[in-house]
Amino acid sequence: MPELPEVEVVRRGLEPLLSGRRVQSVHCAVPALRYPLPDLGVLVGHTCQHITRRAKYLQFEFDHDFLLAWHLGMTGQFHVLTSNAPKAKHEHVRIDFTDGSSLRYRDTRRFGYAGLMSVSDWQSHAWFRELGPEPLLDVFDGEYLYERCRNRKAPIKHVLMNAKAVVGVGNIYASEALFRAGIHPACKAGRVSRKRMHILVQHVKEILCEAIDAGGSTISDFVQVDGKPGYFAFGFQVYGRKGEACPRCGHVIRRKVQAGRSTFYCPGCQH
DNA sequence: CTGAAGACCTGCCTGC
DNA sequence: TGCAGGCAGGTCTTCA
């Protein structure tokens, strides 16, 4: 489901509802999502202090050095309800707080996963150790990406989606950013010029910011914490638009499968 | 080493 | 109406 903008929208929704709340009880309806769930019972009696984000992971920071890292996979959703609200379908985890609020995790496909680590040392955890830079930080710039792609024969779209190169850019935003930059998704990464790499990076940053401001993208099942959809999907220029006319040059937008993922592009203005 | 493909799991849509 | 097949926003593992 979510790429970086969607995870950030969820983080911003959860932060004011959960920070400062103390855990009263934890219920797991299943032993595992994608991986076995950690023993969340250790959080009982502890207070959620901040919710942060790294790549597509939400990080719930508790007192006493507990950090709960959570990846939403494709269909994971968090909702904050009251503790007496009924259990929804595919609701796998609930964390009740002493003030009566209740954090629910739903995940139809169960591709999500969670782990407990320490606030002071999460960077060394296997999930985080080898991640590339955050795309919205200044260290991610055209020069960085150009150097990262040198001699790489993989398609530029694969590099954009590779979390070791840069985090948070998934299938949708990779397609859209390449369209805006006029770069063909199958173009070998090592053959994109320095100048075009600068342009591409600018578009990646722009599109992620626009999507965050719009509350994320909803194609089928992304919702914000309050249940509202995201609105950015209305702004897609190529994603999901196979057969339609390119908004820029009028050529017919094509869909092709790259490494098992759908890629949408305009053969007229992406080279 | 790199890159491609399969696996995880469920639901929805399409076409026969 | 029913059913097979394809498809879905992520990431890890396996294989060539």
Distances (CA, A) of A150 to A104, A106, A143, A146, A203: 44, 41, 11, 6, 20
CA of A82 to C1' of C7 (A): 35
For residues A244 and A251, give the distance between their C-alpha atoms in angstroms, rounded to a whole number.
8
Name residue, tokens 């190169």.
Answer: A165
In this predicted structure, what is the pLDDT of residue A220?
62
Output the tens digit of pLDDT for each of chain A's 271 residues.
Answer: 589 999 999 999 999 999 999 999 999 999 999 999 999 999 999 999 999 999 999 999 999 999 999 999 989 999 999 999 999 999 999 999 999 999 999 999 999 999 999 999 999 999 998 899 999 999 999 999 999 999 898 999 999 999 999 999 999 999 999 999 999 999 999 999 999 999 999 999 999 999 999 888 876 667 777 777 777 776 799 999 988 899 999 999 998 888 788 999 999 999 9
> Which residues 80-119 on A are within 7 A of strand B at the CB atom?
89-90, 108-111
The nucleotide closest to A162 (CA, C1' atoms): C11
pTM exceeds 0.85 for this model: yes
Q: How far is the CA of A8 from the C1' of C14 (A)?
A: 32
Between the CA of residue A182 and those of A23, A177, A178, what are the distances in Å? 49, 9, 6
Across all strands, nucleotide nearest A186 (CA–C1'): B3
pLDDT at residue number A235: 79
Taking the C1' atom of every nucleotide in all shown strands and the CA of A260, the nearest one is B5
Q: Which of A33, A54, A56 is nearest to A216 (CA)?
A: A56
Q: Give the CA A257 to C1' B6 distance in Å.
A: 15
Q: Which residues touch strand C (CB under 7 A)?
A: A 1-3, 6, 34, 55-56, 71, 73-74, 109, 111, 127, 161, 163, 170-172, 216-222, 230, 257, 260-262
Residue A104 CA to residue A83 CA, distance in Å, equals 9
Amino acid making up residue A236: F
pLDDT of A215 reads 86
A150 touches strand B (CB under 7 A): no
DSSP of A78-118, one letter per residue? Answer: EEEEETTSPPPTTEEEEEEETTSEEEEEEESS---EEEEEE
Per-residue model confidence (pLDDT) at position A221: 66
